[in-house]
Structure 1
Amino acid sequence: MKPGGTVTQPTTEEVTEELVLLATHLLNCARGLFNEPQAYGPIRCLDAARRTFIIAEKAGLRDERLADIRARLDDFMCGPMEYHDLSDFLDELCAALLTALKGSDVLSSAGGERG
């Protein structure tokens, strides 16, 4: 943010760096799955989703419903350790994401590469 409170758009280089760091995180997570407890996989995926939303917001995404999902992910990953039924939490997040995307113009109708 610039002095005076104006928001600056990230450069292509900044977004590229964030994406490379995300890919690095994902590859590290994938490698760790062989030696870590089974529950770490879903938690690492939650963190990757949180990081992805951060990159999208830095790139200019402004959607209150998606920001709410990211806030829930932030609370889960960075907040106090509490008991969560991880499966139920993921179900809630997936339902919230589906609802948010249905009422949004975030996804293009043209598609693109889907994995």
Structure 2
Amino acid sequence: MSSGETTPWPVDEELLLLAAYLLSSGRGLLDEPQQYGPFRCIDAARRVLVMLRDRGVAHEELASVQKQLEDFMCGPMTPRDLPAFLDEVCGRFTVLLRDSDLIQRTAPAVAG
């Protein structure tokens, strides 16, 4: 590898950083307004979808959900119906997982 090339972070490092984010978010929630909790969960989900995208998981509907989360978190600060937004995204994600090949349909065999 030449000095000008970059290497993507190992997924283990990104997961460690995500764990640190979740832990610090959990701590922050003790002193923050109750409404912050759902926003932190939305941001954590957004971060996971970015990690998947960066790892080459290419799926049009998954990318669309990730963009919807990006727009929500990084878009203009306007009044929003948070329960309705979460209901919509959860519904989309449920259908995505049910109708795609992104997850295994059966449990993997356990070596015994």
Which among 40, 43, 48 is matched to residue 44 of structure 1?
Answer: 40
Structure 2 length normalisation: TM-score? 0.85
Which among 34, 56, 59 is matched to residue 30 of structure 2?
Answer: 34
Aligned partner of 1:71 in structure 2 is 67
Which among 10, 22, 41 is matched to residue 14 of structure 1?
Answer: 10
Matched, 1:97 2:84: no
CA 1:9–1:66 in 2, change beyond 3 Å: closer, same or farther?
farther
Aligned partner of 1:85 in structure 2 is 81
How many residue pairs get matched? 103
3-state DSSP of counterpart to 1:108: coil
Amino acid at match of 1:46: I
Contact 1:46 1:73 in 2 (8 A): yes
Aligned-pair identity in percent equals 48
CA distance in 1, matches of 2:95, 2:48: 18
**Larger of the two Rg values belongs to structure:** 2
Structure 1 length normalisation: TM-score? 0.83
CA 1:9–1:105 in 2, change beyond 3 Å: closer, same or farther?
farther
CA distance in 2, matches of 1:111, 1:56: 21
Contact 1:33 1:40 in 2 (8 A): yes
Matched, 1:108 2:112: no
Gaps of at least 5 residues in structure 1 are: 1-7
Structure 1 stretches of 4+ with a deviation exceeding 4 A read none
Q: Bigger relative contact order, structure 1 or 2, given CA contacts below 8 A and separation 6+?
A: 1
3-state DSSP of counterpart to 2:10: helix
Deviation at 1:74, TM superposition (A): 0.3
Amino acid at match of 1:50: R
Contact 1:9 1:59 in 2 (8 A): no
